[in-house]
Amino acid sequence: MSKYVIVGASAAGIGAVEAIREVDPVGTITVISEELCPQYSRPMISDFISGKASLEKMKCRDDHFWKKNEAQALTGRTAVRLNLTERYVELDGGDKVDFEKLLLATGGKPFIPKIEGADKEGVFTFTTFSDAERLATRIESAKRAVVIGAGLIGVSVAEALAKRGLEVTMVEFKDKILSLILDPAASEIVENAIRKAGVTIVTGQTVQRILGKPEDDSVVDGAVLTNGDQVPCDLVIIAIGVVPRMELVAGTDVKTNRGIIVDKFMRTSVPDVYASGDVAEAYDFIFNENRLLALWPLAHLEGRVAGYNMAGKKTDYPGGTSMSALKYFGIPIISVGIANPKEDGYEVLVKHEPEKNFYKKLVLKDNVIVGMIFVNDIERAGIIFHLMKNCVNVKKFKQELISENFGLATLPSRLRKKMCLEG
Amino acid sequence: MRRIIAKEEVCMGCGLCEVYCTVQHSKSKDIIKAYNREHPRPISRVRLETNRPVSFAIQCRHCDDAPCVTACLSGAMRKDEETGLVTHDEEKCMGCWTCIMVCPYGAIKMDVSGKVVAKCDHCPELDVPACVANCPNGALVLQEVKP
């Protein structure tokens, strides 16, 4: 019997272990992970490909982490079934781990669309360290790569492959890259930088078929786009997005929507069963509803909140929102919330100086900031994020917020003093 | 733990806090060498915020529940349980800028390399941080606060 059982040992699982140990120094913890060394940062796998980071550098907690926290880490193991009535998790091989409190932090898996030839050698997904390791073995012998999807994962892997000297083509179904988090103007700044780095961007297209080599059809030789164009390549990376891994809860009483539904304590609909991270639909403070947000910082925070509550310290999840910091192709960007509103009813403030690649945009609703994009000049973005999170009415000073001189000193003195004294 | 408090009513906006922070984080620790011979010149981790007549200096607050520590993707940002300081390990930093996104004070900077962040470390080699020790008007003070 283990008091706490955690399935998944990435951002959320690690956060939960740390939080549990802050409250309960003795309760037994068992963590189950499919990965052999789960305590690394998944967002860093592109740095592994580019050669910038070794596995050692990618470790966000050291190798003693599990031992130090007296957590039994069952690595390289898969949880295959849950029995929520008898309260145990069944592992591959049939052994069972009983629990008192269970956290499902199973994360996401890459979404793979139906593409003819997607099973060929040379086609990769890009989510875990094993994915990156597999891809890394093929880079030396490869010359050209096609990346399907120009979201965060697609852009990160495209940059890494370009740095390794490959000729890269990014294929994006939408009209613009990073369309979920940027607006057309910000997208264009990144697109220009990407093209400058020698990467080809094809938008409004997707890959309909992956071709095999004439001498061996099982090995990738090229990709056929929706318009029929052929792009010769040795590697295809599918980077369209991730979907929650909900296999374990299928057929149980755990309520799901697109992900596992949780309340503000990260509890699922089944008592003593919690969920956190990319698999959970947690509260979004901008949309004021629960949403799927596959983001590392939120997964970690959700895991912490789950851990506290599992160990008996009542803690509310403050909520997250779509929030991304980007470093790719030398263009620092921060995008939060509704950065590109599609409906009416929003006020948009923009300052754009193309020659300096300076772009700041704020989206307001009833004088409260609900979205932002900062390009290049990002160091004060956190102040805006703070105003956003606290629903501060910015009516009296909104124009200042996008000026080049914006900083804490530009805020009204009462607000500034409140913010600074709190810390 | 100790925290640096800014007193904006007595800050003259002279910027010496930034100068001495730069020197303290330089290789030579010498003002002339740090400014003229170190390329790139180390950045100051304290920032003078000005909007005349208002001015004050702000640096990492070493928050109790630090959002940068929770958000850090690489494990570079840690809360030191003994000192209460938020420490940053440059070797581990991947320069993803997530900490910058969540710092309510805008107190985390991009380092000159553009590849990692830099922030206040309370000058571990000194008894009193350089910005506090060299503020000519007592606009930066070191206070003992309850954790």
Report whether B132 contacts B142 (CB < 8 A). Answer: yes
Looking at beta carbons, which residues of chain B come within 8 Å of A386?
104
**If pLDDT is split at 50, 70 and 90, which confidence band does A417 have?**
confident
Give residue A332's pLDDT.
97
Do A112-238 and A332-422 share a fold? no
Give residue A287's pLDDT.
95
Using a CB–CB cutoff of 8 Å, tell me whether A38 touches chain B. Answer: no
Asked if B51's CB is within 8 angstroms of A409's CB, the reply is yes
**If pLDDT is split at 50, 70 and 90, which confidence band does A357 have?**
confident
The average pLDDT across B20-48 equals 94
The average pLDDT across B49-66 equals 93
List the single best residue of B102, B115, B141 to mutate versus A (max A Cβ within 10 A): B102
pLDDT averaged over chain A? 96
How far apart CA A275 and CA A183 sit, in angstroms, is 32
CA of A166 to nearest chain B CA: how many angstroms apart?
22
Percentage with pLDDT > 70 across chain B:
99
**If pLDDT is split at 50, 70 and 90, which confidence band does B147 have?**
low
Please name each of the domains of chain B with its CATH number.
1-59+120-147 (3.30.70.20), 63-119 (3.30.70.20)
Give residue A157's pLDDT.
98
Nearest CB neighbour to A61, from listed B75, B101, B109: B75
Give residue A423's pLDDT.
45
DSSP code per residue over B79-96 = E-TTT-PEEE-TTT----
Give residue A120's pLDDT.
97
Flag whether pLDDT at A385 surpasses 70. yes
Flag whether pLDDT at A92 surpasses 90. yes
DSSP code per residue over B4-49 = EEE-TTT-----HHHHHHHHHTSSS--HHHHHHTSSSPPPPSSEEE
Using a CB–CB cutoff of 8 Å, tell me whether B142 touches chain A. Answer: no
Flag whether pLDDT at A412 surpasses 50. yes
Flag whether pLDDT at A356 surpasses 70. yes
- Residues A244-294 have pLDDT tens digits of 999 999 999 999 999 999 999 999 999 999 999 999 999 999 999 999 999
List the single best residue of A327, A408, A410, A421 to mutate versus B (max B Cβ within 10 A): A408
Give residue A296's pLDDT.
97
The average pLDDT across B127-138 equals 97
Across A84-98, A231-245, A408-422, B57-71, least confident range? A408-422
Nearest CB neighbour to A297, from listed B71, B75, B109: B71
Strand partners, B54: B51
Looking at beta carbons, which residues of chain B come within 8 Å of A296?
71, 73, 98
User: Domain extents for chain A?
Assistant: 2-109+244-310, 112-238, 332-422
Using a CB–CB cutoff of 8 Å, tell me whether B26 touches chain A. Answer: no
Asked if A297's CB is within 8 angstroms of B55's CB, the reply is no
pTM listed for this prediction: 0.96
The average pLDDT across B39-67 equals 94
Using a CB–CB cutoff of 8 Å, tell me whether A68 touches chain B. Answer: no
- Residues A306-344 have pLDDT tens digits of 999 999 999 999 999 999 999 999 999 999 999 999 999
Percentage with pLDDT > 90 across chain A:
95
Flag whether pLDDT at A151 surpasses 80. yes
What architecture does CATH give domain A112-238? 3-Layer(bba) Sandwich (3.50)
Give residue A128's pLDDT.
96
DSSP code per residue over A322-373 = -EEEE-GGG--EEEEESSS--SSS-EEEEEEEGGGTEEEEEEEETTEEEEEE
The domain made up of A332-422 has a fold known as Enolase-like; domain 1 (3.30.390)
**If pLDDT is split at 50, 70 and 90, which confidence band does A413 have?**
confident
The single residue listed with the structure tokens 């506290």 is A308
Structure tokens belonging to residue B18: 């930034």
The average pLDDT across B35-64 equals 93
CATH superfamily placement of domain A2-109+244-310 = FAD/NAD(P)-binding domain (3.50.50.60)
Across A251-255, A419-423, B95-99, B108-112, least confident range? A419-423
Using a CB–CB cutoff of 8 Å, tell me whether B101 touches chain A. Answer: yes
CA of B114 to nearest chain A CA: how many angstroms apart?
9
The average pLDDT across B36-48 equals 93
- Of A32, A28, A69, nearest in space to A311 by CA: A28
Asked if A381's CB is within 8 angstroms of B101's CB, the reply is yes
- Of A347, A364, A328, nearest in space to A186 by CA: A328
Residue in B closest to A10 by C-alpha: B73
Flag whether pLDDT at A411 surpasses 80. yes
Across A74-78, B4-8, B100-104, least confident range? B4-8
Using a CB–CB cutoff of 8 Å, tell me whether B10 touches chain A. Answer: no
How big is chain A, counted in residues? 423
List the single best residue of A41, A378, A418 to mutate versus B (max B Cβ within 10 A): A41
Flag whether pLDDT at A185 surpasses 50. yes
**A260 against A356, higher pLDDT:** A260
